[in-house]
Amino acid sequence: MNVLVLVGSLRAGSTNRRLADAAVAHLPAGVDATVFEHLAELPHYSEELDHDDVLPSVARDLREAVADADALLLVTPEYNGSMPSALKNAVDWASRPRGASAVSGVPAAVLGASGSPRAAQWAREEGVKVLRVAGADVLDDTVGVGAAFQAFEDGRLSDTALDAALRDLVTRLATHASRRHEAA
């Protein structure tokens, strides 16, 4: 089982990357995770580029990574009340061709961290919405980390209740993915 992780912040020292790492550490034994490290290299989605002869190799890599994944974990900061364009762009690439896309039917969950106490709530809501529209099988609930610059200690969330919620969410994602895996 492999979970593909998309992290919407491109900066070193990202709190969302820390959240992604904390989530991966909570995955059940036997479930691997891969962070897609090339979001910054993806060109803006254009239907002109979306043909076999001109498809950017990084877009092909993303689609293959999504197709190979048993589940998706989207980890988003909040930029101006929404998810960052790099992350939306990745979902847009993964969502095509419509009806036969790599993301179709894939179990998914959304996490988010922001500096504000609102814990990237709007971005998380956007993440659930766009993944669902793209055809993923998204868990309704999300985990949000507010005041994210102070939220981590030794790679874990220092708020134990929030850490438990994170463990619960990724465990449910893995269970959901393994049921789908077995049914396939």
Ligand X SMILES: Cc1cc2nc3c(=O)[nH]c(=O)nc-3n(C[C@H](O)[C@H](O)[C@H](O)COP(=O)(O)O)c2cc1C
Contact between 81 and ligand X by CB under 6 A: the answer reads: yes
Q: CB-wise, 45 or 79, nearer to ligand X?
A: 79
Binds ligand X by CB under 6 A, chosen from 31, 70, 77, 87 = 77
DSSP state, residue 149: G
For strand 143-145 and strand 71-76, is the pairing parallel, antiparallel, or unpaired?
unpaired
Give yes or no for a contact between 84 and 16, defined as CB atoms under 8 angstroms apart.
no
147 part of the interface to ligand X, by CB under 6 A:
no
| Closer residue to ligand X in complex, CB, 40/183 | 40
Contact (CB, 8 A) for 69 and 4: yes
Residue 147: is it exposed, middle or buried by C-beta count within 10 angstroms (0-12/13-18/19+)?
middle
Contact 166, 111 (CB under 8 A): yes
Q: Kindly state whether residue 118 participates in binding ligand X, applying the rule CB under 6 A.
A: yes
Interface residue with ligand X, options 53, 80, 99, 160 (CB under 6 A): 80
Q: Is 15 in the site for ligand X (CB under 6 A)?
A: yes
Binding footprint of ligand X on the chain (CB under 6 A): 9, 11, 14-16, 77-81, 113-116, 118, 120, 148
